Homo-oligomer: A and B are copies of this chain.
C-alpha cells in the first residue's frame, strides 16, 4: 500500500487520531493537515500530528493530485462544498469520515456521473465527548467498526484500497449503501441522542423534581439516569449538523418512537385495566432486541 503523502482536511479528534494511527502503521508517510484556527495549528505541530499544517484562510484550493490519500474530516456541509472542486482524473483516493452518507454520496454521484472515480465515503463508528486535536489518541480506531459506502462509478480498486487502509489502521469494515446507513444510524445513534436530551429536559421542566434536586448537594438518582443522560446535550454543533443532513430518517424514527410510547402510555390510563401481560411482553421483546443489537445481554 503506497501511502507517501496524505492530506487530512480538517483535523479535530477524528482527523488527529487518524494521523496518529497513520504515524504508527506507516511511519514514512508525510502528513499535511488543513485547519481553520491558529490554535489547532499550534496543537497539531506541538503534538507532531502532521508534518505540515496549512490554514484554510491562507490557501487557494490544494493540488489534490499531490496526495495518495485525501481524508475529509469536517462537517458534511463543508464536504458538500468541496466535492465539485475535486479532479476528475488521477490516482488520488478520497474518503470522508462523515456521520451521514446520503447527501455526500448523492453529491459525489451527481458530480462524477458515469465517470469512474476514487471517492469512497466512510464512517468510523467511534468518537468521544471530547473534541479537537488535543484529544487525539492513536488507538481510537482499533477494533471499531468502519462502514464503507461506495458511490456509483467509484472504482472497485479504490473500494478495496480503502477497505485495506481501514483494516491496517485496526478497524473492521462492512459495506452499506447510503440510505441503509442513514436509516440504521437514525435508529441506533441519532434517535438515542435526541431521546437522551429530551429526557433530561423533561425532568428539568418538572417543578417538584427540580425542587427536590436543587435542595440537596448529591444526586438523587442512581446509575439508570446517569447512563440515560450521558449523551444528553453533547456536541451541539456536530449533532445539529447530523440532524440537518438526516432529517427525514430521524423524523421517521421519532414518529415510530412517539407511536410506541403512546401505546405504552395508554396502558396507564386511569380508567383502563392494568395489562401486566402486555407490559411483560414489551419487556421481553426489549430483552431480545437488545441482545441482538448489542450482540450481548
Contacts and interface: CB of A to CB of B under 8 A. Distances in A.
Task: Say how many copies of this protein the assembly contains.
Answer: 2
A293 B251 contact: no
Contacts of A193: 224
Nearest to A172: B218
Interface residues of A, number: 99
A171 to B, nearest CB: 11
A200 B256 CA distance: 12
Contact of A202 (B191, B218, B219, B225): B191
A260 B201 CA distance: 8
A199 B203 contact: no
A292 B221 CA distance: 12
B232 A248 contact: no
A135 interface: no
Interface in A274-297: 274, 276, 279-280, 282-290, 292-296
A210 B233 CA distance: 27
A288 B228 CA distance: 15
A269 interface: yes
A45 interface: no
Q: Main SS of the interface on chain A?
A: helix
> Which of A127, A196, A222, A268 counts the most chain B CB atoms within 10 A?
A268
Contact of A198 (B205, B212, B260, B296): B260
A267 B276 CA distance: 36
A261 B204 contact: no
A268 B256 contact: no
A176 interface: yes
A253 B264 CA distance: 12
A255 interface: yes
A61 interface: no
Contacts of A204: 285-286, 288-289, 292-293
A290 B220 contact: no
Interface in A200-246: 200-206, 208-222, 224-234, 236, 239-240, 243-244
Interface stretch (A5-13, A84-92, A159-167, A179-187): A179-187
A276 B237 CA distance: 9
A126 B222 CA distance: 6
Nearest to A275: B240
Interface of A: 125-127, 144-145, 147, 172, 174, 176, 179-180, 183-184, 187-189, 191-206, 208-222, 224-234, 236, 239-240, 243-244, 247-248, 250-251, 253-258, 260-262, 264-265, 268-270, 274, 276, 279-280, 282-290, 292-296
